[in-house]
Every structure is written in structure tokens, then in C-alpha cells.
Amino acid sequence: MYSEKVLDHFKNPRNQGVIDNADAVGQEGNPVCGDIMKIYLKIKDDKIDDIKFETLGCAAAISVSSALTEMAKGKTLAEAMAMTKDEVVEYLGGLPAVKVHCSMLGVDALHSAIKSYQENK
């Protein structure tokens, strides 16, 4: 059902936690499935210097959050805004069709954090 990479990110999540004094925070949730993803950003020179996540959800949601943070770290804000759910799914080696919505929450939370940062700076 899940790829080895999805299972690895679920069992060994990267960048899980909170950034105190984050430059931006984005949160997205899905009331139907109950998943909630929160992304914290530290930004330096218009790049994502540090990124952490808190996710309440299924294995796919946690894996997506972990993979997304790995993919986004070090990117410029413009590069991170251009990230898509398809890129995250491909990076993980695929997700079951019923779990692809989880990847959208992660991307939406990242984009929400970036927009918040840009509006408040």
C-alpha cells in the first residue's frame, strides 16, 4: 500500500517539532479526514533556513509533512511557492489515490506560511 520511502518518513520523520520565534507559521486542516498540518519557517536571505512541522493525522500525512520539509529546506521562497503536491507524491514514490489529499494539505500549509511571512515583513 505504501512505498518504502513513505514508511521511512512515517517511522523516522525529519524536521518534526516547533520553531520558537518562527518567522512564519502556516496551518491547514481537512475536516473530513481530521488531518491538521502546521509548518514553521525560519527565513534568512529570502531562503528557508529552517523548517519544522507538527502534524496530526495518518501515516501519509506525517510522511508528506516530513518529505515536504526536506524538499523545501534551502529553497528560495519563490521556489518553495512553486512546489506542487505532485512533486511531493513523486518524491515519496507515490501514494494511494485516497491519500493524495494529504499531500495537498502539506503544500497548502507551506504556501500559507510563506504568504503570511511576505504579508508581514
Q: List beta partners, residue 26.
A: 39
Q: Which of 33, 59, 81, 100 is catalytic?
A: 33
Known active-site residue 58: no
Q: How far is Cα of residue 111 from the mean position of the Cα atoms in its chain?
A: 9
In the residue annotation, 33 being an active-site residue is answered as yes
Q: How far is CA 76 from CA 13, 39, 106, in A?
A: 23, 16, 17
Residues linked to residue 24 through DSSP beta bridges, in sequence order: 41
The residue from 77, 102, 104, 105 that is catalytic is 102
- Catalytic residue list: 33, 102
